[in-house]
Amino acid sequence: MEKIKFIDWGTACRIGDIIYINQSLKQHPELFSALLKHEKQHSSTLTFKDIKIDLKISELDNLRGDYYRFILTHPKTWIMFLPFWKYEGKWILDPSILGAWMIGIALGGILWRLL
């Protein structure tokens, strides 16, 4: 059973058995439910299935505008694009974001070499 911890930055993510979700999302019940449902689909360890879940994000299909509006109006959500952050005095690593950064840097290096 996963635990839910409310945070005041980012939107939502799952690391191990803990789902971190922005407390401001409580004011947006549909978006909150969709993101919580999405995070519950993830396993407690990072697998290729989790990457496919993140690429699909079908729970947000009808709420994309609300999701992007939430991100734009809550600048602390931009922290979700960092692969690591500090919570309750501990550094936490988000492997899926780290993987995205590594792929982006690798592709950037390849393009740099080609140009």
Task: Residue 95: name the closest of 54, 67, 40, 38 by CA.
Answer: 54
Domain boundaries, the chain: 3-82
pLDDT at residue 69, as a whole number: 92
What is the pTM for the complete model shown?
0.72
Best CA proximity match to 11, nearest among 37, 32, 27: 32
Residues 41-55 have pLDDT tens digits of 887 776 777 667 666
- Residue 23 pLDDT > 90, yes or no? yes
Closest CA to 71 of 37, 113, 106, 25: 25
Q: Radius of gyration (Cα) for the chain, nearest Å?
A: 15
> What pLDDT is stored for residue 90 in this prediction?
81
User: 58-112: per-residue pLDDT in tens?
Assistant: 667 778 889 889 999 999 888 878 888 777 788 877 777 888 888 889 999 999 9
